[in-house]
Amino acid sequence: MSAVPVAVRTHAVAARCVFDGVKRHKDAAVVIEDGRIIAVTARADVPKILPLCELPETAWLVPGFIDIQVNGGGDVLFNDAPTLQAIRAIVAAHRRFGTTTLLPTLISDSLEKMKAAIAAVDTVVGVEPSILGIHLEGPFLSPEKAGVHDRRAIRAPTADDLALLRRPRRGVTLVTLAPEQVPARFISKLAVAGVRLSLGHSMATYAETVAAMAAGLTGFTHLFNAMRPLSSREPGPIAAALESPNAWYGLIADGIHVAPAMLRLATRGLGHPILVTDAMPPVGGSRASFVLNDETVVMKDGRCARADGTLAGTCLDMATAIRNCVRWLDVPLTDALRFASTHPAEFLGLGDRFGKLAPEFRADMVALDGATIEVLRTWVAGRTQ
């Protein structure tokens, strides 16, 4: 995949249904200039001289999917190789499933690996249009809820970590942490620096979660998984997330990590659901196994797990997550599409440029079959493959 071109001719893409992230437009077209959307208009109003791509009758044209939690894809694990080449392989693997932008996600690792991953992403942001920044999942987590994270890598943050994380950079920095494992002002210092903070792999109580949210934490990483469960006298982080209109929660809609009834509960909360894949190398790849923290993880029957049965991410892609959401959660396709584009863009503070089809937004788009929810084609910054 190449960088955004210096100049692209004005062109348009028309569909029977254009969903702009807010509402559906019948027989409409998106007009694109230099990788940006300049208009969403009636198909009949597209000037005749403009090159026009007409999508098949059953196709919907929708905002590109934004995946904020991608550990790997195309047989590549980001932790193994935080390099430009690896990042491009991951991007290409996920693009076929409609993901037009993503955050490479580093699972808890050494400070050296964190620095290498951040440096690699810093180099790529602005060059590779599908990379919005980085997601550091850990290492400031609860050992009690480590899941597949290496307990040896889990630790308390140091002054060096704080300096590294709040250094200004072009891309987004998202950090998943356990609020009860970090010093009191760590969250507010990062939030003030523009870092997005998400609770995950945590045993935080309800009170600790509310305090973290008051300090600037807004996200919940794979809600329900690897966190203190809901219970009558200690509601924990899940209750705090579901009752707050300022909460954004990632959901893994693979039917393995979370029961559909729990996902339905999340869609009925006051917060904003975000579909994530938490994908591992087999997504868009050819190999059914990989190595994580010196242990082999095998993909079988739709799950990625270690020999001891511990789930290790997923083999889920975004199109499947959306399809599952529609089938299991009793939500319309338009809502599921918002969970995959508009909501993650807003959570990352990029809601004025990504996640919708509207003037001034980047032309990141997906054509999908409205009935089967299969991806037909993608555009990143106006360019199709």
Known catalytic residues are 278
Q: Which residues pair with 176 in a beta bridge?
A: 137, 198
Q: CA-to-CA distance for 130 and 87, rounded, in angstroms?
A: 10
Dihedral pair phi/psi, residue 185, rounded to 5°: -95, 5
With beta carbons less than 8 A apart as the criterion, state whether 292 and 282 touch. Answer: no
Give the CA distances from residue 38 to residues 23, 26, 27, in Å, rounded to whole numbers and listed in that order. Answer: 17, 18, 17
Residue with tokens 């503070």: 349
Cis omega (within 30 of 0) on the bond before 82? Answer: no
Which amino acid appears at position 30 of this protein?
A: V
Cβ–Cβ under 8 Å, residues 97 and 319 = yes
Q: Can you tell me the distance from the alpha carbon of 32 to that of 61, in angstroms, rounded to the nearest whole number?
A: 13
Residues 6+ apart with CB under 8 A from 327: none
Please tell me the distance from the alpha carbon of residue 138 to that of residue 291, in angstroms, as a whole number: 19
Decide: 106 and 82 in contact? Cβ < 8 Å: yes
Q: CB burial class (10 A; 0-12, 13-18, 19+) of residue 92?
A: middle
**64 CB contacts (<8 Å, ≥6 apart)?**
98, 99, 100, 101, 341, 354, 364, 365, 366, 378, 379, 380
Residues 384 and 9: their CA atoms lie apart, in Å, by: 13
In 3D space, the residue among 178, 203, 173, 204 whose CA is nearest the CA of residue 190 turns out to be: 173
